[in-house]
Chains A and B, each alone.
Chain A
Amino acid sequence: MRGIFNLSFRYKIPLWGGFLIVATALIISSTLIFGAYHDLERDLLRNATTQGETMAHTLVPAILQDHVWHAYELIRAPLRGASQENPVRAESLLVLDPKLQVYVSTRPETMPMLADFRQLSAEHAGIASDIAGLGKDTAVFEPEGSDYLFVATPIIDEQTRLGTLLQIYSKKILLPRFLESAEKAAWVTFLVLSVLLPINWYWGQRTATPLLRLTERMEQLGRSLPAELPTQIYDYQDELGRLFHAYNRTLQQLREKTLIEREVIHSERLVALGRLAAGIAHEINNPLLGMLTSINTLRHHGEPDARTTRTLNLLERGLTQIKETVAALLVEAKVNSRDLSPQDVDDLRTLIAPQAHKRSVSVTWQSDLEISVPLPSTLVRQVLINLILNAVQATDEGGAVQVNIAQLDETLSFEIVNGGKMLTESQTEHLFEPFINAGETGRGLGLWVCYQIVKQLGGNITVHSAMREGESMTRFSVNLPLKTLS
């Protein structure tokens, strides 16, 4: 039993619906069938009563004149006139005299004249006293367990009881009629079921499928973020539809939360890295400068031989490289610089053009910067150069890069959009970290520097990499507030 309740809704809904439909159809049809049977029986008794009373009346003169043959002709008329199909046809009729002897019957071979009614059979004997005590009206006797109905009508001529007309009906005659209506009902039931059951199955599937999808996804929810439920599976506003919407909303919130968490972790890591880099740079810079000064002093005053000079040069080059690297890590925003002007944008176009030309990448510029804005031009130029050059590098040969610069209220925004390959998830995660994307083209400090500059200018930088209309697209967006430095 429990197994049934454990079944999937995919089966349970159609099964339960089907069970209800079949049960209803069976109850209705059997009610109709038995109703028809009782109607038939009632009709039979009504007809029998009418026939009996009419016949009893016409039998009076025949009995008074002791005209047996005439009585016989009268009682056998309904058997002759009625068609075989007439279900309310008596099996036999007989007239009993007041002593309950057979006066005449339509079955002389089994119920001959003068035979004692009580001797005919136990069944007959059982109703004999009832017949003898009959009043003025027709009565129906249905001995228990008998296949027959006895309809007894008294034959009365002016208060004198001349005898009794007894019509004997076999209940079996009702059976073919009963079977006929049962067959009809069965056909109707079959038709109804053949329409309703497929509808029920279809409806069950329609309800169960969204539930199944929802269940599958809810089960995944603890382990990972499942896909959204396509609303076209169930685009209605009932409870199930609302459940769909609720699920999608929850999923959306979970996604956003995960994203925020990831961003927080990312930026915290970058902050820590920045501090670390700055600390190390300071610690390195002091001895480094000392060492470089010492080398300089030694070279000018120490009269070194050729080998020592080579060694000193080697040391100086190495230390200088360390200094440059450290300088690159340690982004110093607090430099004095003039404000960013439209002229800077033109300079950038000029600067970028050779690189773009080399890779056959077309760079489209769109700028609404018309006056100078209070942002340090050196730093902003560095950010733009880094991002645009990165974009040119990332774009396939013959591709395009779009640069948009816009001033909106108190914010300067720019976007650099390129085609080319999408960023991988791990690339996105570690995007602005130093040395991560080091490779053929550089040390991998470009984006780190951009990030540091933008952060120090109080702005933000985001990246969005996605497929759009079959083409991959990566967009870096930078927003810089114009107030901070003023």
Chain B
Amino acid sequence: MPTRRLFLGACASLALTPALALVPGRPVRIGLTPAFLHDQHGTLEAWRQYMEAKLLQRVQFLQRDSYRETMDLLRLEKIDFAWICDYPYVHLREQVRLLAVPVFQGRPYYRAYLIVPAQLPHANSLLELRGKIFAYSDPYSNTGYLVPRYQLRMAGEDPGRFFSRTFFTYSHRKLIEAVADGLAQGGSVDSFVWDSLNKVKSDITRRTWVVNQSPEYGFPPFVAHRSVSKESFAAMQGMLLAMSTDPQGKSLLQRLNLDGFIAGDPRLYALVTKMMGEFGEE
């Protein structure tokens, strides 16, 4: 039933008739995770309105504090689309389809930054943080959890015992703050979040030093639940991909610190799959 309405909306969008009134009924529900800057409510609202105008459909954003909650919403089909981290994507790939991949600094990739408090002496590598306090962002974050643990495992260490104490901040942005305040002596953070924050709030990032950069990973993608109709899928994907060609869309992308979206390929995330395999996950 809901998909049928969505289908109508998608048709309207494809027909490129923006003069049509919004289709009443259930809105398009998009889940957002703290994969990007958390306090961009103005930008998000502008983006939502942009989407409504393009899709001719009511759009609802659902923000949750942890990846887990967004993943649960997807599983329970409480949302149709979601912008999630690559790790949850791989985790949920049986239930979701890759919709679009954001392009950051010209490429659909990002990295993990190892950051430490900007003070001397400081650790220059992950292995120098032995016995220290380490901050993870989210148990379902690739760069904020999986990457450092994988690196330790590769170095022959037990990630469970390597640090004296670890904790989750459930947001990359908060993780940067935790390291900046010295609460943790090290942390692994999404390079996209750190770079974006560095643009708008350099007073926080300035108190951290990036001492190591990981290899590239596929950028946290937009996914669609498999239950979403082809038409809706296409409408949404078309809207996202077209953003960089549209002045309003371009300005929004700028505010999100992104260059645009591409359709992407699941193979972008092969590395994550490999790392998960290392920890016995599928």
Given contacts A72-B181, A108-B182, A113-B133, 14 further A-B contacts (CB under 8 A): A66-B167, A67-B167, A68-B165, A68-B167, A69-B169, A69-B170, A69-B174, A69-B183, A72-B183, A108-B181, A112-B182, A113-B165, A113-B183, A114-B165
Chain B residues in 8 Å Cβ range of A69: 135, 167-170, 174, 178, 183
Least distance between B67 CB and chain A CB atoms (Å): 15
Listed in ascending order, the chain B residues whose CB lies under 8 Å from chain A are 119, 133, 135, 164-165, 167-170, 174, 178, 181-183
Q: Check A114/B167 contact, CB under 8 A, given A108-B181, A108-B183.
A: no
| Cβ contacts A to B, 16 pairs, < 8 Å | A66-B167, A67-B167, A68-B183, A69-B167, A69-B168, A69-B169, A69-B170, A69-B174, A108-B181, A108-B182, A108-B183, A109-B182, A112-B133, A112-B182, A113-B183, A114-B133
Docked complex Cα distance between A113 and B169 (Å):
15
Whether a CB of chain B sits under 8 angstroms from the CB of A104 is: yes
Chain A residue with the shortest CB-CB distance to B182: A108
| Across-interface contacts of B165 in A (CB, < 8 A) | 68, 113-114
Interface of chain A: mostly helix, strand, loop or mixed: loop
Contacts of B182 in A (CB 8 A): 108-109, 112
Measured in the bound complex, the distance between the Cα atoms of B169 and A51 in whole Å is 24
Complex-state Cα separation, A387 to B178, whole angstroms: 127
B interface footprint on A108-122 (CB within 8 Å = 1, 0 otherwise): 110011100000000
* Docked complex Cα distance between A108 and B165 (Å): 13
Name the contact of B178 in the complex, choosing from A67, A72, A109, A114 (C-beta under 8 A): A72
Residues of chain B within 8 A (CB-CB) of A66 are 167
Q: Choose among B164, B170, B174, B183 the residue that contacts A104 (Cβ–Cβ < 8 A).
A: B183
Task: Enumerate A92-135 residues with CB–CB distance to B below 8 Å.
Answer: 104, 108-109, 112-114
Give Cα A108 to B181, complex, Å.
Answer: 7
Bound Cα distance A108, B116 (Å): 14
A114 touches B183 (CB 8 A): no
- Whole-angstrom distance between the Cβ of B280 and the nearest chain A Cβ: 24
For B119, B169, B178, B183, the residue with the greatest tally of chain A CB atoms inside 10 Å of its CB is B183
Chain B neighbourhood of A108, CB < 8 A: 181-183
Q: A69-B169, A109-B182 are in contact. Are A114 and B174 (CB under 8 A)?
A: no
Residues of A within 8 A of B167 (CB): 66-69
Give the complex CA separation of A67 and B171 in angstroms. Answer: 13
In the complex, which of the residues A66, A67, A69 has the most CB atoms of chain B within 10 Å of its own CB atom?
Answer: A69
Distance A68 CA – B174 CA, assembled complex (angstroms): 12
Measured in the bound complex, the distance between the Cα atoms of B135 and A200 in whole Å is 73
Which B residues are in CB contact (< 8 Å) with A67? 167-168
The smallest beta-carbon distance between B235 and chain A, in angstroms, is 38
- Docked pose: A377 CA to B181 CA in angstroms: 135
Query: Least Cβ distance of B130 to chain A in Å?
Result: 14
Of chain B, the residue at the smallest CB distance from A101 is: B165
8 nearest CB pairs, A to B: A68-B167, A108-B182, A69-B169, A108-B183, A109-B182, A113-B133, A113-B165, A114-B165
Residue of B nearest to A105 (CB): B183
Instruction: Output the nearest chain A residue to B164 by Cβ-Cβ distance.
Output: A114
**B170 / chain A contacts, CB cutoff of 8 Å:** 69
For B135, the closest partner residue in chain A by CB is A69
User: How far is it, in angstroms, between the C-alpha of A72 and the C-alpha of B182 when the chains are bound?
Assistant: 12
A66 to B136, CA, bound (A): 13
Instruction: Give the docked Cα–Cα distance between A121 and B11 (Å).
Output: 71
List residues of chain B with CB within 8 A of the CB of A109.
Answer: 119, 182
Measured between beta carbons, the chain B residues less than 8 angstroms from A113 are: 133, 165, 183
Q: Among B119, B133, B167, B169, which residue has the most Cβ atoms of chain A within 10 A?
A: B167
Instruction: Write the chain B residue with the least CB distance to A104.
Output: B183
Question: In the bound complex, what is the Cα–Cα distance between A72 and B183 (angstroms)?
Answer: 9
Give the residues in chain A near B181, CB-CB below 8 Å: 72, 108
A113–B178 Cα distance when bound, in Å, is: 12
Q: Which residues of A contact B164 (CB under 8 A)?
A: 114
Q: Closest Cβ of chain B: how far from A110's Cβ, in Å? A: 9
Provide the bound-state CA to CA distance between A108 and B117, in Å.
11
Which A residues lie within 8 Å of B135 (CB)? 69
Q: How far is the CB of A105 from chain B (nearest CB, A)?
A: 9
Q: What residues of A have a CB within 8 angstroms of the CB of B169 in the complex?
A: 69
Name the distance in Å between A73's Cβ and chain B's nearest Cβ.
8
A147–B117 Cα distance when bound, in Å, is 29
Distance of B20 from chain A, by nearest CB (Å): 45
Q: Closest Cβ of chain A: how far from B43's Cβ, in Å?
A: 23
Q: Within 8 Å CB of A112, what residues of B?
A: 133, 182
A25-82 contacts to B (CB < 8 Å): 66-69, 72
Q: How far is the CB of B140 from chain A (nearest CB, A)?
A: 16
Report the minimum CB–CB distance from A485 to chain B (whole Å): 132
* Closest A residue to B119 using CB positions: A109
Residues of A within 8 A of B174 (CB): 69
Q: How far is the CA of A67 from the CA of B178 in the complex (A)?
A: 13
A104 to B133, CA, bound (A): 11
Shortest Cβ distance from A116 into chain B, in angstroms?
13
CB distance from A434 to the nearest CB of B (A): 124
Q: How far is the CB of B141 from chain A (nearest CB, A)?
A: 14
CB-based nearest B residue for A73: B174
**Docked complex Cα distance between A127 and B174 (Å):** 33
Residues of A within 8 A of B178 (CB): 69, 72
Bound Cα distance A68, B165 (Å): 10
